[in-house]
Structure 1
Amino acid sequence: MKNTLSDLNNYLFEQLERLQDDSLDESGLDKEIQRSEAVQKVAKTIIDNGQLALQAKKHLDEYGQGDKVELPMLGVISK
């Protein structure tokens, strides 16, 4: 499993496709809805974490220290 926000975006769209599966019966749809709600909560936490990391990186860049910070969740690794 990859751990970037781009990967998360792909996973969220995959979940959306599963919700739109016409072959799901009522029970299957209920399970997918529950899964989607759990995924949404975790995704929000990951996105919030990414936003915090980006804010920290911007702050450090402002003071000339940003090259010492890696943000792998954003797909950015400074060297």
Structure 2
Amino acid sequence: MKNRLIDLNNHLFSQLERLSEENLTTEQMVTEVKRTDAIVAVSEQLIRNSDLSLKAATLVANHGDRFRPMLPTIFRPPETLESKAITDGGDR
């Protein structure tokens, strides 16, 4: 599995296909259900994290750089040369 949301989507559909197999024994079905529960729990956290990143990006897009210093580094969009020159006083 890669680290993109489309990969998560593909992984979830693969698990759904495993759950849909008609020839699973009861023991295999129990194992797949447990695996599904774990996958769903991790997936929900990944989706929440992606949603938070999107909200941070939207905040900066809608209100400019004035909120950038308040965002954790992981959510800060990269600085452009133009915005760096403005904040540094244009010395570079």
TM-score w.r.t. structure 1 length?
A: 0.79
Q: Which one has the largest radius of gyration?
A: 2
Between 1 and 2, higher relative CO (CA 8 Å, sep ≥ 6) is seen in 1
How many residues matched? 69
* Structure 2 unaligned regions, length at least 5: 66-75, 80-92
Q: Using the alignment, how far apart are the partners of 1:57 and 1:67 within structure 2?
A: 7
Amino-acid identity (%):
38
Structure 1 unaligned runs (5+)?
70-79
Deviating runs (4+, > 6 A) in structure 1?
Answer: none
Aligned to 2:53: 53
Letter in 1 for 2:34: Q
Tell me the residue number matched to 1:23. Answer: 23
Distance 1:57 1:11, change over 3 A: same
What TM-score do you get using the length of structure 2 for normalisation?
0.68
Q: Please state how far the C-alpha of 1:62 moved relative to its aligned partner.
A: 1.5
CA distance in 2, matches of 1:34, 1:42: 13
More strand by share: 1
- Tell whether 2:38 aligns with 1:38: yes
Q: Which residue of 2 aligns with 1:76?
A: none
- RMSD of aligned residue pairs (Cα, Å): 1.7
Q: Which amino acid letter does the alignment assign opposite residue 2 of structure 2?
A: K
Displacement of 1:39 in angstroms is 0.3
